[in-house]
């Protein structure tokens, strides 16, 4: 059956679409950065010499990794206001849920990356007089990045895709824009195709950036 | 202050394993002390306690006249502050068997990072300092290389320069040449010997008895976590009083006494 493809109507909705794109970027960047921060902190906890911190790290990972992210988003949006009496906006709810979810995976990525660095590197840094944070920052993390980058890239791409789920609580990202436009203009094919193309382009860029970084990290023996 | 290091009744336990059983040691400025002992006798543990890579279980360590840590209620047991230990490690250089250079930094970067981040030096000052110290161990021409492109002997000399750049009050060497191919051992020992002759205070764990004989001011033989025998290289290596020391020296097939020959030294 013949469908007449016509993307022209999208041009008339430039501002609306742009707002969706910015919404996706805003949420994705927030969640990637927050997820990485959570991942670093909890990875350090999981590798701590204190059993209580290790347990805390394990609980965090097991809890947030094993609940579907959609459930977490809905929980943040619908359950939190009942418990606390304060209604988070769709952005806050989605950002919290996706960050915690991504952070759980990133914890494991950072943990195994940090563990791949030889113990002697920590010791050499310690012997110079570096404290824990300096050992991590100047010596361990730069080396761990080599094994962290590939899985971290996958995870970042996963986060970017996951932001689409925020449309279920009416957060204005690209999928939400597409849904609205598709209903308005009766053009679901073009609308959702455009969303697909958008994600392919963005993720291809992320992937290319990561390859570049990987090559830089691999330069020295 | 003439006495750089004083160790009193140092004990170290790993769980039930009592590795160091009461070490006393006094090291004066400019002295080079070689520590010998069989595998497992606690040589590494002793050095690692001296810059607190391992925490002593008991005992007092005084560096440049300052007691490290604070007394706790229990006699002999000290508690240590993190900042105090970080500052102290910056003043005690350590060279490891496995070099442990930072592979993501150039040779000069390895030497500069400590002075820049811990002593607040500008990049330019730190580079000058790094080059001075790389020259000291004869490896300045590799300043811009990455460690992976260096031989083991060259890497170990960079590691020495890295420790020297912190301008330590003493240097600890834990089997610095044991991981090297035999033909590379000499260049590292030579750097260490020069350092000793420049007046650096050094504690050296090594199996190179020739180095002990020629360079050490004092030799300490560790056995079962205690100082079993101590004296000048001539005393300990040529006329050991203890049976265990003699046994150890016999088992060291690599030990060929350099000049003066044992007989000649026997007359003096
Ligand atoms: N972190 C640790 N935990 C438990 N036991 C340890 C630890 N470090 C060392 N030991 C034990 O302490 C004892 C002394 O070890 P140490 O490394 O000091 O010996 P060493 O004299 O340096 O021997 P080598 O010549 O083989 O290097 C050994 O029995 C060793 O197994
Ligand atoms: Mg050892």
DSSP code per residue over A195-217:
HHHHHHHHHHHHHHHHHHHHHHH
Q: How would residue B73 be classed by pLDDT, with cut points 50, 70 and 90? A: confident
Q: What's the sign of the alpha-carbon dihedral B37, B39, B41, B45?
A: positive
**Is the CB of A127 less than 8 angstroms away from the CB of B87?**
no
Q: How would residue B97 be classed by pLDDT, with cut points 50, 70 and 90? A: very high
* Cβ(B52)–Cβ(B89) below 8 Å: yes
Protein residue with its CA nearest to atom 18 in ligand 1: B42
Which of A144, A97, A95 is closest to A116 using CA atoms? A144
**Is the CB of A127 less than 8 angstroms away from the CB of B53?**
yes
| 3 state SS of B258 | coil
- Give whole-number Cα distances, B149 to B37, B42, B164, in Å: 34, 33, 22
Q: Tell me which residue has tokens 């769709």.
A: A90
Of the candidate ranges A80-94, A174-188, B73-87, B242-256, the one whose mean pLDDT is the lowest:
B242-256
Residue A128 is nearest to which of B82, B147, B166, comparing CB atoms? B166
Q: Compute φ and ψ for A205, nearest 5 degrees.
A: -65, -45
> Given this model, what pLDDT does residue B262 score?
44
Distance between CA atoms of B129 and B192, rounded to whole angstroms? 19
Residue B114 is nearest to which of A129, A131, A221, comparing CB atoms? A129
State whether ipTM is beyond 0.95.
Answer: no
Q: Work out the mean pLDDT of chain B and round it to a whole number.
A: 92
Beta bridge partners of B14: B17
Question: Is the CB of residue B37 below 6 angstroms from any atom belonging to ligand 1?
Answer: yes
How many CA atoms are closer than 13 Å to the CA of B197, on its beta-carbon side? 10
* Domain extent listing, chain A: 10-219
Burial class (CB in 10 A: 0-12, 13-18, 19+), A20: buried
pLDDT at B260 over 50: no
**Domain spanning A10-219: which CATH class is it, in words?**
mainly alpha
* Cβ(B153)–Cβ(B188) below 8 Å: yes
Residue A126 is nearest to which of B89, B103, B163, comparing CB atoms? B89
Mean pLDDT of B214-238: 95
Q: Tell me which residue has tokens 């050094």.
A: B202
For residues A216 and B132, which has the higher predicted lDDT (pLDDT)? B132
Taking each helix axis from N to C end, the angle separating A188-217 and A14-46, rounded to the nearest 10 degrees, works out to: 40
> Which tokens hold the place of B84?
């105090």
pLDDT tens string for chain A (221 positions)? 577 888 888 888 888 899 999 999 999 999 999 999 999 999 999 999 999 999 999 999 999 999 999 999 999 999 999 999 999 999 999 999 999 999 999 999 999 999 999 999 999 999 999 999 999 999 999 999 999 999 999 999 999 999 999 999 989 999 999 999 888 888 888 889 999 999 999 999 999 999 999 888 887 65
| 3 state SS of A163 | helix
* Cβ(B23)–Cβ(B46) below 8 Å: yes
Which of B135, B2, B94, B152 is closest to A125 using CA atoms? B94
Residue A127 is nearest to which of B94, B117, B149, comparing CB atoms? B94
Q: Report pTM.
A: 0.88
* Residue of chain B whose Cα is closest to the Cα of A122: B100
The whole-angstrom distance between residue B151's C-alpha and the CA centroid of its chain comes to 21
pLDDT at B261 over 50: no
Beta bridge partners of B5: B27, B63
% of chain B surpassing 90 pLDDT:
88
> Which tokens hold the place of B183?
């033909």
* Residue of chain A whose Cα is closest to the Cα of B49: A127
Distance between CA atoms of A163 and A70, rounded to whole angstroms? 10
Q: How far is the CA of B184 from the centre of ligand 2 (A)?
A: 20
- Select the residue from B100, B108, B129, B170 to test the A interface by mutation, using most A Cβ atoms within 10 A: B100
Q: How far is the CA of B61 from the centre of ligand 2 (A)?
A: 20
Mean pLDDT of B61-67: 94
Q: Could you give the angle at the alpha carbon of B204 between the alpha carbons of B201 and B209, nearest 5°?
A: 125
Question: Is the CB of residue B36 below 6 angstroms from any atom belonging to ligand 1?
Answer: no
Q: How far is the CA of B97 from the centre of ligand 2 (A)?
A: 9
> Given this model, what pLDDT does residue A186 score?
87
**Is the CB of A128 less than 8 angstroms away from the CB of B101?**
no
Residues composing chain A: 221
Encode burial over B155-171: b for 16+ CB neighbours within 10 A, e otherwise. bbbbbbbbbbbbebbbb
Question: Is the CB of residue B206 below 6 angstroms from any atom belonging to ligand 1?
Answer: no
Which of A142, A123, A147, A114 is closest to B100 using CA atoms? A123
Q: How far is the CA of B234 from the centre of ligand 2 (A)?
A: 24
pLDDT at B61 over 80: yes
> Given this model, what pLDDT does residue B214 score?
94
């Amino acid at each position: 059956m013949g469908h007449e493809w016509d993307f022209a109507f999208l041009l008339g909705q430039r501002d609306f679409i742009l707002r969706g794109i910015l919404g996706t970027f805003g949420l994705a960047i927030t969640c990637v950065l927050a997820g990485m921060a959570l991942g670093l902190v909890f990875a350090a906890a999981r590798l701590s010499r204190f059993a209580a911190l290790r347990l805390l790290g394990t609980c965090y990972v097991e809890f947030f990794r094993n609940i579907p992210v959609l459930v977490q988003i809905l929980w943040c949006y619908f359950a939190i206001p009942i418990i606390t009496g304060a209604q988070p906006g769709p952005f806050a709810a989605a950002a919290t849920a996706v960050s915690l979810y991504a952070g759980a995976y990133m914890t494991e990525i950072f943990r195994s990356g940090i563990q791949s660095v030889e113990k002697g590197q920590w010791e050499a840094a310690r012997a110079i007089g570096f404290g824990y944070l300096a050992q991590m920052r100047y010596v361990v993390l730069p080396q761990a990045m080599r094994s962290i980058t590939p899985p971290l890239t996958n995870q970042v791409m996963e986060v970017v895709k996951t932001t689409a789920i925020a449309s279920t609580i009416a957060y204005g990202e690209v999928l939400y824009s597409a849904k609205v436009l598709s209903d308005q203009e009766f053009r679901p094919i073009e609308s959702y195709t455009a969303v697909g193309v958008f994600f392919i382009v963005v993720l291809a860029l992320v992937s290319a950036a990561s390859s570049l970084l990987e090559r830089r990290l691999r330069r020295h023996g | 202050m003439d006495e750089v290091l004083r160790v009193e009744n140092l004990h170290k336990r790993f769980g039930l394993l009592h590795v160091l059983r009461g070490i006393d040691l006094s090291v004066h400025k400019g002295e080079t002390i070689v520590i010998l002992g069989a595998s497992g006798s606690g040589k590494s543990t002793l050095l690692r306690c001296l810059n607190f890579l391992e925490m002593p279980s008991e005992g007092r360590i005084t560096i440049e006249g300052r007691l490290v840590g604070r007394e706790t209620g229990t006699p002999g047991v000290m508690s240590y502050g993190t900042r105090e230990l970080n500052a102290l490690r910056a003043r005690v250089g350590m060279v490891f068997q496995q070099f442990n250079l930072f592979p993501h930094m150039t040779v000069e970067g390895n030497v500069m990072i400590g002075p820049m981040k811990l002593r607040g030096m500008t990049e330019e000052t730190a580079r000058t300092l790094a080059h001075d110290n790389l020259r000291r161990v004869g490896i300045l021409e590799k300043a811009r290389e990455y460690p992976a492109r260096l031989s083991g002997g060259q890497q170990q000399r960079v590691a020495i320069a890295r420790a020297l750049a912190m301008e330590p009050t003493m240097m600890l060497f834990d089997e610095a040449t044991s991981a090297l191919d035999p033909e590379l051992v000499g260049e590292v020992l030579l750097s260490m010997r020069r350092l000793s002759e420049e007046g650096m205070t050094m504690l050296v764990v090594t199996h190179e008895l020739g180095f002990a004989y020629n360079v050490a001011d004092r030799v300490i033989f560790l056995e079962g976590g205690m100082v079993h025998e101590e004296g000048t290289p001539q005393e300990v290596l040529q006329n050991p009083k203890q049976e265990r020391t003699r046994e150890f020296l016999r088992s060291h097939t690599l030990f060929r006494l350099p000049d003066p020959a044992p007989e000649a030294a026997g007359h003096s």
